[in-house]
Amino acid sequence: MTASRLSHALETGALALPAGPVALFGPPPGTDLSAFPREALTLVSHDAIATAAWQAAGYAVTRMPTGPFAAALVVLPRARDAQKALIAEATALAPLVLIDGQKHDGVDAMLKAVRGRVPITGSLAKAHGKLFWIEGGDFADWAGVPRDIGGFVTRPGVFSADGPDKGSLALVAALPPLKGRVADLGAGWGFLARHILESDAVTALALVETDAIALDCARENVPDPRAAFHWADATRWRPSAPLDAVVSNPPFHRDRSGDPGLGRAFIAAAATMLAPSGSLWMVANRHLPYEAELDASFREVEAVADTGGFKVIHARQPRRGRR
């Protein structure tokens, strides 16, 4: 999407890219970046999975770009305050900033908000989205600031930034005190992790999370020496020794589209991480089809709670050698 709007703007001469280094904030893996000379590009991502994919494709990726850059391109994420934070970061680093987004992610509203501060140099609408660009402007007050939501710190764009997720609350209500070595897959900003560590019998807790911003929040929210923080894809991460328990409120969508395959991959991964006596505690929306994967990965599966549209599952006896 980005690529077609960008190449159109370049081909029609509406936009001319200056020579020099370019920072790209948040392009989804697979985006065609051929409009840019590869050696000029620095990709900026806080997602472990996107970072690994871009690095495997031979691109330089960083979380903290230092610049200066001749230009920056921001691919708008979904959350409005995360969009603003990226625009603040990009405009502080480059004199020309291109902003690209889909209609359903609110690109028109963002264009309006930006135009309230600085003239729009150019714009192009195509393929259910818009690319527009600006030169200069002070967006420092849009920078992403941490928020305190009742004793937890969150930052713009992280999952459930306004307060604990209902599914996670249902899981916490049903979870007995755990013991031994535990992992929280998709740990977010640490809501479940802090609860898990209330049990003194837990000796170690691995928080595995792909979003580095969420993981930074978790570091602040879970200041416990038993906690270890892993910026990684939970479906690929493996513990150094088998675990006694895995806890998870798995993600159920990528971008805007629901993807039960992601939750299934979490279940299968959990089974490979556990000791034979270990168990998985997870929560899911009641309608999500996880039963077949649970039965394929564990010998005993029990729904221990079914409340407010969520089911809490306790799965034991991971099947060996399935994968």
What distance in Å separates the CA atoms of residue 98 and residue 268, rounded to the nearest whole number? Answer: 41
Candidate ranges 25-33, 95-103, 128-136, 181-189; the one touching ligand SAM (CB under 6 A): 181-189
- Which residues in 223-252 contact ligand SAM (CB under 6 A)? 233-235, 249, 251
Asked if residue 216 binds ligand SAM (CB under 6 A), the reply is no
Supply the minimum distance, in Å, between the C-beta of residue 303 and ligand SAM: 18
What distance in Å separates the CA atoms of residue 285 and residue 166, rounded to the nearest whole number? Answer: 10
Which strand (E) or helix (H) includes residue 302? Answer: strand 298-307
- Which residues in 82-121 contact ligand SAM (CB under 6 A)? none
Give the x/- contact pattern for ligand SAM in 10-49, rule: CB under 6 A: ---------------------------------------x
Determine the distance from the C-alpha atom of residue 236 to the mean position of all C-alpha atoms in its chain, rounded to a whole number: 15
- The two structure tokens encoding residue 212: 């580095």
Supply the minimum distance, in Å, between the C-beta of residue 209 and ligand SAM: 5
- Using the minimum distance from each CB to ligand SAM, give the nearer residue, 2 or 248: 248
Determine the distance from the C-alpha atom of residue 284 to the mean position of all C-alpha atoms in its chain, rounded to a whole number: 18
- Using the minimum distance from each CB to ligand SAM, give the nearer residue, 91 or 249: 249
Asked if residue 211 binds ligand SAM (CB under 6 A), the reply is yes
- Using the minimum distance from each CB to ligand SAM, give the nearer residue, 192 or 202: 192
- The two structure tokens encoding residue 262: 């992601």
Q: What are phi and psi of 173, to 5 degrees?
A: -65, -30
State which of residues 4, 7, 121, 160 lies at the interface with ligand SAM (CB under 6 A). 160
Q: Are 311 and 291 in contact (CB under 8 A)?
A: no
**How many residues in the shown chain lie near ligand SAM by CB under 6 A?**
20
- Using the minimum distance from each CB to ligand SAM, give the nearer residue, 17 or 214: 214
Asked if residue 197 binds ligand SAM (CB under 6 A), the reply is no
State which of residues 27, 144, 186, 263 lies at the interface with ligand SAM (CB under 6 A). 186
What distance in Å separates the CA atoms of residue 197 and residue 177, rounded to the nearest whole number? Answer: 9
DSSP letter assigned to residue 243: E
Q: Are 48 and 210 in contact (CB under 8 A)?
A: yes
Q: Which has the closest alpha carbon to 35: 52, 62, 15?
A: 15
Supply the minimum distance, in Å, between the C-beta of residue 53 and ligand SAM: 12
State which of residues 69, 132, 139, 191 lies at the interface with ligand SAM (CB under 6 A). 191
State which of residues 75, 87, 111, 187 lies at the interface with ligand SAM (CB under 6 A). 187
What distance in Å separates the CA atoms of residue 59 and residue 46, rounded to the nearest whole number? Answer: 15
Q: Are 234 and 213 in contact (CB under 8 A)?
A: no
Q: Which has the closest alpha carbon to 23: 4, 6, 40?
A: 40
- For ligand SAM, the binding residues (CB under 6 A) are 49, 159-160, 165, 168, 186-188, 191-192, 208-211, 214, 233-235, 249, 251
